[in-house]
Chain A
Amino acid sequence: MTQARDYLVVDELTKHFGGLAAVEKLSFSLDRGQILGLIGPNGAGKTTVFNLITGFLPATSGRVTFRGESLMGKKPHQIVNQGLARTFQLVKPFPELSLSDNIRVACYGPRFMSQGLDEEAARHRILEVAEQVGLPDDLDQPASSLGHGDLRLLDIARALMVQPELLLLDEPLSGLSSIETQAIVGLIQALNQEGITLLIIEHKLKELMKVADRIVAIDFGQKLAAGTPQEVVNHPAVVEAYLGTKDSYASA
């Protein structure tokens, strides 16, 4: 059994793009079973943090550990196979593949294959995941025929297919209608109930505050505040950086 505290630890993480410090000495940690929100204005470095944690970008310095094991220097697919999956801010489906094939791709990684599951089991699991996230019934249609909201669901379904313990969602609610938003908020809660730990980047603070146990706010790659949703959203530095005004989202 792995420890519940300090499940994922980000320690002095730094990323420079040439002269630009996208992430600067950022530290935070996440306990097992928690939902942590990561917020910050546009260009604050949130997606870069995800890319660093998941191995899509090499860090300039600093460390990330997951269940006590360092993730530094690991390739994205290796990190996924440790149980850490992600979605993308710009949804990245396989447009010409059918919905079920989009999800099926994730069956062919070692994490799924090593369980000795056959095609039948894969098909079963695909249907299960598709239903869980609420994809349309016709799984034979190509992904290119989906609308934006369904593409987000598809991306989440693909990530769920690797049976993650920790799921990183990059703006899962952006561009969604209010019905779709409610559906995904419900999904996030359900996943957390199942025992999945989540790290969520989101601009829609109202919804994020409903689900998050804790929130970390960053700007210019540096931490502004961390704590309970209420604490963070009312933190003066956050209010100023995030809103530029004194209106608080918490009261919105």
Chain B
Amino acid sequence: MLANLKTPAQRHTAIFYGLIMVGFYFVPVFSDNFYLLSVFTTAYFYIIFATSWDVFAGYSHLMNFGHALFIGIAGYLTAFVDLHLGLPPLLVLPMCAVVCGLLGMFIGYLTLRMQGPYFAIITMAFAAVAYESAIMFSEYTGGEEGIPGIHPLTDSLIGDYYFVLVVMSLIFLFLLWFTRGRWGLVLKAISQNEDAVLASGINTAWVKIRAYSISGALCGIGGSVYAYSLTHVGPTSMEQVLSTTILIMAMVGGMGTITGPFLGALILVLFNELSRDMEEYRLLIYTVMVVVIIFFAPRGIVSWGQPIARAFKLGGKRGQAGS
């Protein structure tokens, strides 16, 4: 990967995210405050959700409004397998990845012909169907209450912290590798002009289905770890609000960059937690801030990277932060 970092701007970007990642690993060294660690853990989950959303939706500009579907499906699967079969997490995680990957492939296939708004509605509908089913088939799913008592990942908070962090790091690195290579380029090209990609001899349908499948599989891994970490799964894990939050985080950070959703999720989760003492105004400020950022920076926070770097006389000329 380092061989790909041709320009100074790319090297600075790599150093920037590298430092953040290393910083994450040292958080418990400085503080074992329960609250602080759980805030960071939450951020890691949202990073997984938002970056896995991005690899399909962000690159293809097909707005997936139901990403939480994968979180919920993986969560319930985890609960069943853990409680009934007693399988260890290291088996359950790949299983969730496969199931959600196949589900993504299936939905991708069904929705292939749809564009923009239609795609948004149908992804919303699929997640809503799953949500309603989880409430309706309460014998199996525990209805509104969900299923409690999933075995924890490790027996300590710090253990859980590192488990989630490692999973997040691996997913983040994988996504960077995946999108910085040919697939990222092809997906970006598809979002700008699908006909020309077809005319270049590339099966765009298959590329999109595959990206959706990867998006689902990675989110499934995240969803499974999420259920373990909460030791509980319920219909809220596939609520519309969650799907929308993920997409907003990705958009605020900068769609189609992977690093953008990483930053977006991190910043919004931290802001949300750190602003708790603003009490009832917190959500108002949060939502208004989101509207303002999307309005003034539709390409997200990462698009500020270059101007900032230039201000500090860091970066080279072209190339976005994040590329």
Assess whether B318 is interfacial by the CB under 8 Å rule.
Answer: yes
CA distance A81 to B198 in the complex (A): 10
CA distance A94 to B182 in the complex (A): 15
Residues of B within 8 Å of A75, CB to CB, are 198, 203
- When the two chains form their complex, are residues A94 and B188 in contact, meaning their CB atoms are under 8 A apart? yes
Residues of A within 8 Å of B87, CB to CB, are none
* Majority-rule SS of B interface residues: helix
- When the two chains form their complex, are residues A105 and B202 in contact, meaning their CB atoms are under 8 A apart? yes
- When the two chains form their complex, are residues A105 and B186 in contact, meaning their CB atoms are under 8 A apart? yes
Assess whether A241 is interfacial by the CB under 8 Å rule.
Answer: no
- When the two chains form their complex, are residues A86 and B188 in contact, meaning their CB atoms are under 8 A apart? no
- Number of A interface residues in the complex (CB < 8 A): 35
Give chain B nearest CB distance to A49 CB in angstroms: 16
Chain A, residues 158-181, CB within 8 Å of chain B (1/0): the string is 110110000000000000000000
Minimum CB distance partner of A154 in chain B: B196
- On whether A162 and B201 interact (CB within 8 A), knowing A88-B195, A88-B196, A92-B195, the answer reads yes
Assess whether B285 is interfacial by the CB under 8 Å rule.
Answer: no
- On whether A106 and B192 interact (CB within 8 A), knowing A97-B185, A101-B185, A140-B318, the answer reads no
> Within the complex, which residue of A76, A97, A104 is in contact with B192, where a contact is CB–CB below 8 Å?
A97
List A44-72 residues whose CB lies under 8 Å from chain B. 54, 56
CA distance A107 to B202 in the complex (A): 9
List B150-193 residues whose CB lies under 8 Å from chain A. 182, 185-186, 188-189, 192-193
Residue picked from B192, B193, B202, most chain A C-beta under 10 Å: B202
Minimum CB distance partner of A140 in chain B: B318
CA distance A108 to B182 in the complex (A): 7
Give chain A nearest CB distance to B60 CB in angstroms: 13
- Among all A-B residue pairs, the 8 with the closest Cβ atoms: A109-B201, A80-B201, A106-B200, A76-B198, A94-B192, A92-B196, A105-B189, A108-B182
Assess whether B199 is interfacial by the CB under 8 Å rule.
Answer: yes
Assess whether A73 is interfacial by the CB under 8 Å rule.
Answer: no
List A72-121 residues whose CB lies under 8 Å from chain B. 75-78, 80-81, 85-88, 92-97, 101-102, 104-112
Extra contacts besides A77-B198, A108-B186, A158-B200 (5): CB < 8 Å? A77-B201, A80-B199, A93-B196, A105-B202, A108-B185
CA distance A28 to B201 in the complex (A): 25
Residue picked from B189, B195, B204, most chain A C-beta under 10 Å: B189
Assess whether B103 is interfacial by the CB under 8 Å rule.
Answer: no
Minimum CB distance partner of A111 in chain B: B201
Chain A, residues 188-220, CB within 8 Å of chain B (1/0): the string is 000000000000000000000000000000000
> Within the complex, which residue of B195, B200, B318 is in contact with A105, where a contact is CB–CB below 8 Å?
B200
List B188-226 residues whose CB lies under 8 Å from chain A. 188-189, 192-193, 195-204
- When the two chains form their complex, are residues B199 and A94 in contact, meaning their CB atoms are under 8 A apart? no
11 A-B interface contacts by CB (under 8 A): A77-B203, A78-B203, A88-B199, A92-B195, A93-B196, A94-B193, A104-B185, A109-B201, A111-B201, A158-B200, A162-B200
